[in-house]
Structure 1
Amino acid sequence: MIKVVMVDIDFEVEAQILKALAHPTRLRIIEILQQEPICVKHIGGLMDVPQANLSQHLSILRNCGIVSCSRDGNRICYSIRDSRAAHILAVLKDHAFDQSV
């Protein structure tokens, strides 16, 4: 007989986080933000993504609580707010490495 241990997890919240991360551009944003908080202009320069698209992706991540932003004068800088996103990215990278070996 299989025993199921119930853990108090809000699967709706977890599913929203996974949905927010389910895009290559957003995963790259998380990868960049793992290094240090960075301003939107620099993220765009590193990714070669149009500003409008980048803003949309950052908005999705911010609305899910994955990243946070702060204003420094006329610059808006982003940082990782929820460390689960970085852990998920690490698992994906490990899986990709295992597949390539």
Structure 2
Amino acid sequence: MRTETESPETPADYEAAGELLRALAAPLRIAIVMELAAGPKYVHQIVETLRVTQPLVSQHLRVLRGAGIVRGTRSGREISYSLIDDHIAHIVTDAVHHAREER
């Protein structure tokens, strides 16, 4: 919802929102975002929790990073991933809860 002081949304805003939603469209990427909503995680932690392969997690993290949803911070040989902001966590959490209610 827009307040009186905010300017109206533009086509560019809708395009950016569409790109964000496309990046979140894969179930595994949603699961990764849900994991990162609890705090930063290393790739091996995501792999263990979600029980998928490391290359698959890395591939999806690359998409999320490219979309500006996650950031990676190198610590020695490992990279810790975190959400860029909490808005993404809210969007995904709300979508998951809504889907659960619909069943």
Class of the TM-score when normalised by the shorter of the 2 chains: 0.7 to 0.9
Query: Aligned equivalents of 2:49 and 2:96: distance in 1?
Result: 20
Structure 2 segments unaligned to the other structure (5+ residues):
1-6
The answer to whether the Cα contact below 8 Å between 1:65 and 1:82 also exists between their aligned partners in 2 is no
Secondary structure of the residue aligned to 2:64 is helix
CA deviation profile, 1:27-69 (whole Å, cap 9, x unmatched):
0001100111010111111111111111110000000000000
More off after superposition, 85-94 vs 21-30: 85-94
Structure 1 segments unaligned to the other structure (5+ residues):
none
Report the aligned-residue RMSD. 1.7
84, 88, 91: which one aligns with 2:87: 84
More off after superposition, 44-53 vs 20-29: 44-53
Residue pairs, 1:1-101, within 5 angstroms:
6-8=8-10, 10-100=13-103
Give the fraction of aligned pairs with identical amino acids, expressed as a percent: 36
Query: Aligned equivalents of 1:82 and 1:22: distance in 2?
Result: 18
Query: Aligned equivalents of 2:86 and 2:20: distance in 1?
Result: 11
In structure 2, give the amino acid aligned to 1:34: A
